[in-house]
Amino acid sequence: MTSKLPNSAPVVIIGGGICGVSTLYHLAKRGVNAVLLERRKIASGTTWHAAGIVGQLRDSSSQTELGKYTARLFRDLEEETGQATGYKQNGTINVALSHVRQEQLLRTHDHAARMDVESFILPPAELAEKWPWILTDDIKSALYVPSNGQVNPLDVTTALSKGARAQGGLLFEHTTVTSLVVRDGKVSGVETDQGTIATDKVLLAGGMWSHLFAKAHGVTVPLHACEHYYIVTEPMADLPSDQPILNISEERTYWKEDAGKLLIGGFEAQGKAWAKDGIPSSFEFDELPFDMEQAEPELELMFARMPALSGMGIQTFFCGPESFTPDGRPYMGPAPELEGLFLATGMNSNGILNSGGVGLTLAEWLIDGAPSRSMSPLLASRAHPFQANTAYNQERAAESVGFHYGLHWLGHQVLSARGVRRVPLHDQLTKAGAAFA
Ligand SMILES: Cc1cc2nc3c(=O)[nH]c(=O)nc-3n(C[C@H](O)[C@H](O)[C@H](O)COP(=O)(O)OP(=O)(O)OC[C@H]3O[C@@H](n4cnc5c(N)ncnc54)[C@H](O)[C@@H]3O)c2cc1C
């Protein structure tokens, strides 16, 4: 892309995944010519292989705001940049198989109205009409959100980089940031394998690489990579390109049209951490071996839900890594341990749908000192220093994969990586019958 590194920059962004590139784009829109550094090619980390679903209704208003803005941005980006993004508003349908999930759908329907996102409860007959390939007899109700959609993650990242560069943003591929330069407790630059850039503001948008990079500088970014699976069928002649995306939370599966084929993914109740000994330095557009045993429970449910699948060819069994955090939420905003360092990382498989909002919000943080919308549940400052513990993150992130389709009860307790931190009276409290939360 650009050839010579500048000596200084108002902002340096580490990582050319969709979140870093979106921030470069939004900074450029505000007249700030930031520099983005990517160790390989843009989108070659996690972004390129995402399923590209853009759902707006998340479990907090803050994250819903990110998704809403992303959906708006993706609608207009192709026209602005001339780069196709594959974005379409084919809508999503979430179904409930039990009364508990039915209650959850009704609450989501309410949340949608409060957040100004149109949604409809679909009668079972209409669902069966919209999704004739699956068994629907046991489905109690369905929630349809027409303004949700899907995008091609690689193309949309390219469009954002094109839009950023057209407005003065600088993007350097094959440039690895080896360390931050810190002076008097503040960021004063970055060292790269191509030279040094002076800056007092750095955004770490390094996806699954962020934890160890930050840790090397005494900054806590709790996350770890876990495996994520989907399958892609052979082409289906009768599958319309505007087929709504389907989510079956109780079966932990999502279903979407993908270039005339059906892409079906699953989020296991208990995920599997990847790269416990570190991410291979050669990682670029890589995929991981498909662990049939790990994916089996969701695969069985897919085949039971759509009997015709058994007679069809499955063209792709895909597995790729994605970062998950201890509480299933991203880390955004200033890192409290190091002045001048900002974070946009730990996307928990929502990085495509978050990306527009992440870029907009981080640009405000970097330019104005604060975002114009509340990001309380997503603040980087919620991390505790003990969460810099890499073994803890490996264990907990695997459980976090299950949060994706889990029920988010108030007071829900996690099961993994317990006892990492203990009070001095721990043993006496245990003997006295204490319960720990
Ligand atoms: C199979 C699968 C399906 C998914 N489906 C969806 C979906 O439907 N919808 C959705 O919203 N999300 C989905 N996701 C999640 C989504 O892909 C991610 O959340 C998103 O791509 C994360 O983007 P990112 O920019 O944070 O990270 P990345 O794309 O990983 O980018 C980080 C970049 O930083 C670079 N980097 C790291 N360290 C350095 C350094 N020191 N110097 C220079 N560069 C560095 C890396 O090379 C990398 O390119 C899916 C994920 C998977 C695995």
* pLDDT at 411 (0 to 100): 84
Residue 200: is its pLDDT beyond 90? Answer: yes
Residue 214 in tokens: 């930050």
> In angstroms, how far is CA 150 from the centroid of its own chain?
14
pTM as predicted: 0.98
Q: Are residues 108 and 31 in the same domain?
A: no
Same domain, 188 and 216: yes
Decide if 95 is inside a domain: yes
Contact 298, 266 (CB under 8 A): yes
d(CA 25, CA 291): 37
Asked if residue 103 is part of any domain, the answer here is yes
Calculate how far, in angstroms, residue 42's C-alpha sits from the geometric centre of ligand 1.
10
Beta bridge partners of 14: 37, 204
Cα 37 to Cα 365: distance, rounded to the nearest angstrom: 20
| One domain, residues 143 and 231 | yes
pLDDT above 80 for 404 = yes
What is the distance in angstroms between the CA of the first residue and the CA of the last residue of the chain? 50
Q: Let me know the angle formed at the C-alpha of 107 by 101 and 112, rounded to the nearest 5 degrees.
A: 125
Q: Which of 15, 76, 105 is nearest to 347 (CA)?
A: 15
Structure tokens at 226: 């876990």
CATH number assigned to the domain comprising residue 350: 3.50.50.60
Q: Report the distance separating Cα 132 and Cα 84, nearest Å.
A: 30
For residues 361 and 296, give the distance between their C-alpha atoms in angstroms, rounded to a whole number.
Answer: 39
The answer to whether 272 and 226 are in contact (CB under 8 A) is: yes
Q: Is the pLDDT of residue 346 over 80?
A: yes
Do residues 161 and 305 both lie within one domain?
Answer: no
Contact 252, 269 (CB under 8 A): yes
Q: Final residue of a domain: which of 324, 339, 370?
A: 324
**Rounded Cα gap, residues 135 and 278, in angstroms:** 42
Q: In terms of pLDDT, which residue wins out, 404 or 411?
A: 404
Residues 375 and 271 grouped into a single domain: no
- Asked if residue 242 belongs to a domain, the reply is yes
The reply to whether 318 and 185 lie within a common domain is: no
CA of 292 to the centre of ligand 1 (A): 23
User: For residue 412, what pLDDT is reported?
Assistant: 87
Q: Which atom of ligand 1 is nearest to the CA of 52?
A: 8
Q: 138 and 37, same structural domain? A: no
Residue 74 lies in a domain: no
Task: Quote the ligand 1 centre to 39 CA distance (angstroms).
Answer: 13
**Does 57 map to a domain?**
no
Type and span of the H or E element at 22:
helix 18-29
Single residue among 384, 410, 428 that ends a domain in this structure: 384
Asked whether 73 lines ligand 1 (CB < 6 A), one says no
Cα-Cα-Cα-Cα dihedral of 430, 433, 434, 437, to 10°?
A: 90
Q: Would you say 274 and 321 are in contact if contact means Cβ atoms under 8 Å apart?
A: yes
Domain assignment of residue 174, given as a range: 12-52+153-222+327-384
Q: Report the CATH number at residue 312.
A: 3.30.9.10
Residue 252 lies in a domain: yes
What residue's CA is closest to ligand 1, atom 28?
Answer: 17
Q: Of the residues 25, 36, 46, which should be mutated to test ligand 1's pocket, given the most ligand atoms within 8 Å of the CB?
A: 46
Residues 125-151 have pLDDT tens digits of 999 999 999 999 999 999 999 999 999
Q: Give the pLDDT of residue 408.
A: 80
Q: Is residue 411 part of a domain?
A: no
CA-based nearest residue to 74, from 64, 66, 195 = 66
pLDDT mean over 188-206: 98
Calpha distance 160→18 (Å, rounded): 8
Least confidently predicted of 1-5, 20-24, 221-225, 359-363 = 1-5
Q: Is 322 helix (H, G, I), strand (E, B) or coil?
A: strand
SS3 269: coil
Do 12 and 34 contact (CB within 8 A), yes or no? yes
Residues 230 and 298 occupy one common structural domain:
yes
HEC-encoded secondary structure of 86-153: CCECCCEEEEECCHHHHHHHHHHHHHHHHCCCCCEEECHHHHHHHCCCCCCCCCCEEEEECCCEECCH
Q: Are residues 245 and 318 in the same domain?
A: yes
353 lines ligand 1 (CB under 6 A): yes
| In a domain? residue 204 | yes
Q: Which atom of ligand 1 is nearest to the CA of 206?
A: 34
Calculate the average pLDDT of the chain. Answer: 97
Cα 319 to averaged position of ligand 1 atoms, centre (Å): 14
- Amino acid identity of residue 401, one-letter, is V
Same domain as 312, residue 171: no
How many independent structural domains does the chain possess? 2
Judgement on whether residues 130 and 254 belong to the same structural domain of the protein: yes
- For the stretch 70-119, pLDDT in tens is 999 999 999 999 999 999 999 999 999 999 999 999 999 999 999 999 99
Structure tokens at 409: 């009860």
The residues, ordered by sequence, that sit 6+ positions from 427 with a Cβ below 8 Å of its Cβ are none
Which residue among 170, 349, 355 is best mutated to probe the pocket of ligand 1, counting the most ligand atoms within 8 A of its Cβ? 349
Same domain, 238 and 363: no
- Which tokens belong to 328? 């299933």
Which long-range contacts does 47-50 make (Cβ < 8 Å, 24+ apart)? 47/17, 47/18, 47/153, 47/154, 47/157, 47/207, 47/351, 47/352, 48/153, 48/154, 48/285, 49/153, 49/285, 49/287, 49/318, 49/320, 50/153, 50/351, 50/352
Task: Please tell me the total number of residues recorded for the chain in this structure.
Answer: 437
Task: Give the model's pLDDT for residue 1.
Answer: 52
Q: What is the pLDDT of residue 160?
A: 98
Task: Establish whether residue 68 lines the binding site of ligand 1, counting it when its CB lies within 6 angstroms of any ligand atom.
Answer: no
Percent of the chain with pLDDT over 70: 99
DSSP conformation class of 60: S
Question: Which of 367, 384, 401 is where one domain is finished?
Answer: 384
- Rounded Cα distance between 273 and 422, Å, is 25
Phi, psi dihedrals of residue 409, rounded to the nearest 5°: -65, 145
Q: What mean pLDDT is predicted for residues 264-293? A: 98
